[in-house]
Amino acid sequence: MRKIAAGLFVSLDGVTESPEKWHFTYFSDEMGAAVGAQMAAADTMLLGRRTYEEFAGYWPSQAGTGNQLADQMNDTPKLVVSTTLDTVEWQNSTLIKDNVVEELTKLKEQPGKDISITGSATLVRSLLRAGVLDELRLLVHPIVVGSGKRLFEDGGDQVPLKLIDSQTFSTGVLYLTYAPADK
């Protein structure tokens, strides 16, 4: 069975918004290997509307530049969860508007690699609370950003988690992998 795994850059105070403003100082070969392993373990991307719009506004223009990451981003099948979009134009994208939990549960039962979520904090929160998210992979950066959208900010229900892996990188970044406690 496939799993849905979310990988997020997070500041020490829980901010996930605009990591391009605070993340790169802490990037290392260790982190690159961890992110690369996450990408290699997946054959489908799952995106919320905002992350989809950001990615679709950038990655297609990088096609044919010799950038392997751009080729992978463009070629990988993408599932976009949105109640406000009517169409998705980026190649290999499919829109999921309704019955998100049901649709994703069916997809998890199909053969294939992991389904990865990058960014999309709102989607991550909703899937975690719905019991559909299988792993939460956090790259916790040793910085207090002070403001910005946080991974958990809406005061929803408690979701017990268990730590299934942890690593400390030379830059002080913690790579923490959690799963729901009941799985």
pLDDT score recorded for residue 134 = 97
pLDDT score recorded for residue 77 = 96
Per-residue burial over 97-110, b if 16 or more Cβ lie within 10 Å, else e, is eeebeebbeebbee
Give the range of the structural domain holding residue 121, as residue numbers without chain letter.
4-180
User: pLDDT of the chain along its 183 residues, tens only?
Assistant: 899 999 999 999 999 999 999 999 999 999 999 999 999 999 999 999 999 999 999 999 998 888 888 888 999 999 999 999 999 999 999 999 999 999 999 999 999 999 999 989 999 999 999 999 999 999 999 999 999 999 987 677 889 999 999 999 999 999 999 999 987
CATH of the domain at 47: 3.40.430.10
Q: Residue 57, exposed/middle/buried by CB under 10 A (0-12, 13-18, 19+)?
A: exposed
* Number of folded domains that form the chain: 1
Total-model pTM? 0.91
